[in-house]
Structures are given as structure tokens and as C-alpha cells.
Amino acid sequence: MRRRHRFSFVKFIFGVMLFVLISSHFISTAAEAHSRYNIVDAHLHYLDFTQETDGLEKLVLEMDKAGISRAVLFGMPMVKQWDEHAPNMPVYYLSNDSRSYYYSATDYIMMAHLERQPDDIKDRFYPFICGINPNDKYAAKYIKQLLDTYPGQFYGIGELMSRHDDLTALTYGEPPRANHPAMLEIYDLAAEYNLPVMVHHNVAGYFSDEPIYLEEMQQALAHNRNTNFIWPHVGISRRIEIPNLIEITREMLTENDNLYYDISWIVFEEYILKDLEGWAELISEFPERFMVGSDIVGHWGRYAEEVTKFYLLLDLLDDETAQKVSGKNIVSLVENGVEKRQELQPSFIETRTETETISSTAQSNTGNSNNGAVMQEESNSDTLIIIAVIFSTATALIALIISVIFNRKQNMEIRNKLSEIHAYLDDYTHGKIDK
């Protein structure tokens, strides 16, 4: 009887060891797949249309889950008004037909939240200024005030709203446009400080197959060639139906060296997903001019799915291009003007020495330009493996106790199960089962 128990125990331990090894392999493979792109989110709203947010702590947790090392972060330049006739509080600009209005406090709210965070959280974000009225010729002055108030802490301007379907139609004032005189002054200021400008500008109107607003963006790009533009969503929004968007995008990139596109929000579902090969070909022609973004607005419940959906596109690109689109392009763009801003803002260097420098932050948080994300994923993988080992060991001890206490018939059943497990593992090891 003792020999049988000893033999059963040895076989069981052998099976557990194989199980741990195979589990470790699967866990490591899953972690590797999860982190195969060093994502830097190029488009993330910290606040929603009522200036509410789930907060930075939860955001960082969701970023880690989604494999995102850093993010371009901005507030929401409009607020949805709650009219007395509206029975429910609106939470989105399409919640009802109430008007919206421009809201400059959004930048201060975001920066106040960031300043309360430890350096390891603050240094994962590139804050942008967005809280201005794009039709107000004072707008450039207000942006300059913010740059002076927070020296060295902003890395871009945007998302500025122009021709944004229902949103700008419901907002008080004249419809904003990319070539408005107030916007042109913003572009000049951005060039002076070497800050990229993100402008949402629909290329067409509702259900239109003509890019009637394209010329406005062309004039904005031509106004100051030293201004780098990020055009979100490849110039589309809801109910924008442009059949030749790929051709328009190719032509715009060819004619404008200061133009970059982010492929966030519904452009993926409405256009890219319907022609993955065509868009992959276009991106491969201009590998340094595209970037991915989530366009999540203040609440992080869908964060992971809004980022990992791009894997379908990234998988069609060569490794170098995929790494550029997933993170390197946006990092290069926002960090490009650091020396220029140091000259214009004397307190810039002092501000940055209180935290990590941009270059060391990039090395610690993003992919090839940031090894910290890889270390984070490796640490997560190691943790999962340790948990698997502890679980397997505990299972083995419980099984051993059961095998000693239970009667012979029950022991026979256990041995039969172990034999089945052993046979499965043996088939797996010899390639009889797909790995």
C-alpha cells in the first residue's frame, strides 16, 4: 500500500511539474503578445463633456492593463449645458439638443489633478492645452498665459474643435474653422514654441461625398510651415461618407510635410476596418506620419478594447513601421521642441529637474525609446508565473492529503485521472497536440 501511495505521489508531482512548465509557457506567451507593441496613446481626454473624470489613479491602472506606457492628455474644451427643460443630466454632447459652450477651466482642472500625483504618474503623460474658443482672437494670448503659468509642462495644443459635426453646431458662437484668423495666431504661437497643434476638422459635411471643408485645412497647413499639425480621425466623424478618403489622405501627406494623422475613434470602424490592406499600404508609404489614439473621454471602462483593436492594423505592418505608428511617432513629435521651449521659458529647466527629464522618462516608459514598459510587462509575467507555481503546489498538497485519507477505490479514480493528465501532457510534449 505504501509503495502504491509513493508511486502515485511521484507521478502526481511529475504531472504538476509539467503543468507548471506548460502554464509558465502559456503565461509568458500571453504577456509577450500583450506587450508586443509599445503603445503611446496619442489622443486621450482626461475630462468628459461635464468635466468629470474617473481620475488618474484608475487611468494608470487601465493603461497598464492595456499595455500603454504613456499618453497625450488633454481636457475637454466644451461643456454640455444642462437646460431647465432637460429631464435628465446630459453626459455627452449628443445626449439632447441643449447647447454647449467653451470652457477654459478644463486645462486648470487637469493640471491641478496632475500636480497632486507622484512623479512616476505625472511623467507618463504629455499634457496639451485645449480650453480655448477657436473663434476668439484672444485665444493665443490665453495659451501663452498657460505656458507661462506651467513652464515646461505642456507639450502641445489641442484637441481644438473645428467643423466637428453636432458638437460645434450645438456650441454657442459662429462655427469654428481651421483657417479662422484666431486659429492662425495659435499656429504662429505653436511654431514659436515648437508645439504640435491637434485640430479636429471634418473634411466634409453630413452624408456628403465631397470634401467641402478640405480647403480650409489646406490653408491652415500652408499658413505656417513651421507648425506641425496632428489631424485626428483622418478628418472624419459621424455620418461623414468620403469614398476616396485614402486618396485624399495620400495627397495631403504628399503636399504637406507638416501634417500628421491620428487614427483614433470611429475612423477605424468606419473606414480602416473595411479596407485594412489599403490603409496598411498607405501607412507603409508614410511610416512616420501616423499614430494611434484611443479618444477615450474621461472614463476608462473601454480603454483596453479601444487600443487593442489597432492590433489588426499593426499586425499588417513591418515591425519598424508598427513600432513607429504605435508610439515612436507621437513621442518624437512632442519631444521635438524641448530645446526651443527651454530658450523661451527660463524656468523650464528648473521645472523639469524637479521630476525626471523627458529623455530619461521616455527610456523608462516607452518601448525601444522606453524600456520601462517592457520591464513592467516582464514583472507582470513573473508575478503570474509565481502565482501559477503557488497554485499548482497547493493543489498538489491537497491532492496528496486526499489520496492518503480516501479509500482505495477513490485512490484508483485519482490515479486514473492522473494517468489521463500524464497522457495528455505526453502527447503535448511530443507534438501530437497543437501548441
- Mean pLDDT over 29-35 rounds to 46
- Kindly report the number of other CB atoms within 10 A of residue 52's CB atom: 14
Give counts: helices (H), strands (E), the chain: 20, 11
Please report, as a single letter, which amino acid is at residue 213. Y
| pLDDT of amino acid 414 | 47
Sorting pLDDT into bands at 50, 70 and 90, what band is 394? low
**Residue of higher predicted confidence among 86 and 166:** 86
**Which of 57-66, 91-100, 106-115 comes out lowest in average pLDDT?**
91-100
Buried b (16+ CB within 10 A) or exposed e, 255-279: ebebbbbbbbbebbebbbeeeeeeb
Residues ≥6 apart with Cβ < 8 Å to 406:
414
Q: Report pLDDT for 373.
A: 42
Mean of the per-residue pLDDT values of the chain = 79
| Cβ pair 28, 36 in contact under 8 A | no
pLDDT at 150 over 70: yes
170 against 154, higher pLDDT: 154
Q: What is the pLDDT of residues 187-238, one digit of tens each?
A: 999 999 999 999 999 898 777 789 999 999 999 999 999 999 999 999 988 7
Q: Is the pLDDT of residue 275 over 90?
A: yes
Going by pLDDT thresholds of 50, 70 and 90, the confidence category of residue 351 is very low
**Crossing angle between the packed helical segments 358-365 and 372-405, to the nearest 10 degrees:** 30
Residues 101 and 81 sit within 8 Å (Cβ to Cβ): yes
Is it the case that residue 32 has pLDDT exceeding 60?
no
Assign 87 a pLDDT band (cuts: 50, 70, 90).
confident
Question: With contact defined as beta carbons under 8 Å apart, do 41 and 294 qualify?
Answer: yes
Q: Please state, in angstroms and rounded to a whole number, the distance separating the CA atoms of residues 239 and 204.
A: 10
- Per residue in 403-420, pLDDT (tens digit) is 445 444 444 554 565 556
Amino acid (1-letter code) at residue 263:
I
Span 104-119, pLDDT tens digits: 999 999 999 999 999 9
Q: Say whether pLDDT at 28 is over 50.
A: no
Q: The domain 36-370 is classified under which CATH number: 3.30.1490.20, 3.20.20.140, 1.10.150.120, 3.40.50.1820?
A: 3.20.20.140
Which of residues 20 and 47 earns the better pLDDT score?
47
- pTM above the 0.75 mark? no
Which SS3 state, helix, strand or coil, does residue 346 take?
coil
Tell which phi-psi region holds residue 235, choosing left (phi > 0), alpha (psi between -120 and 50) or beta.
left
d(CA 196, CA 199): 10
**pLDDT recorded at residue 206:** 74
- Judge whether 19 and 392 are in contact, CB under 8 Å: yes
Range with the poorest average pLDDT among 196-200, 298-302, 360-364: 360-364
Domain coordinates in residue numbering, the chain? 36-370, 371-435
Angstrom CA distances, 334 to 19, 196, 326, 381, stand at: 47, 7, 14, 31
Cα–Cα distance for residue pair 117/94, rounded to 1 Å: 33
Residue 5 in this model has a pLDDT that exceeds 60: no
The answer to whether residue 246 scores a pLDDT higher than 50 is: yes
139 close to 186: Cβ distance less than 8 angstroms:
yes
Q: Is the pLDDT at 171 greater than 90, yes or no?
A: no
Residue 364 has pLDDT above 70, yes or no: no
The region of weakest confidence among 79-88, 109-118, 120-129, 322-331 is: 79-88
Q: What is the pLDDT of residues 370-384, one digit of tens each?
A: 444 444 444 454 555
Q: How many CB atoms lie within 10 A of CB 387?
A: 12
More confident residue, 344 or 92: 344
CA 321 distance to own-chain centroid: 17
pLDDT band at 293 (very low <50, low <70, confident <90, very high): very high
- Which residues of 53-124 form beta strands (DSSP E)? 68-74, 78-80, 100-102
DSSP code for 94: T
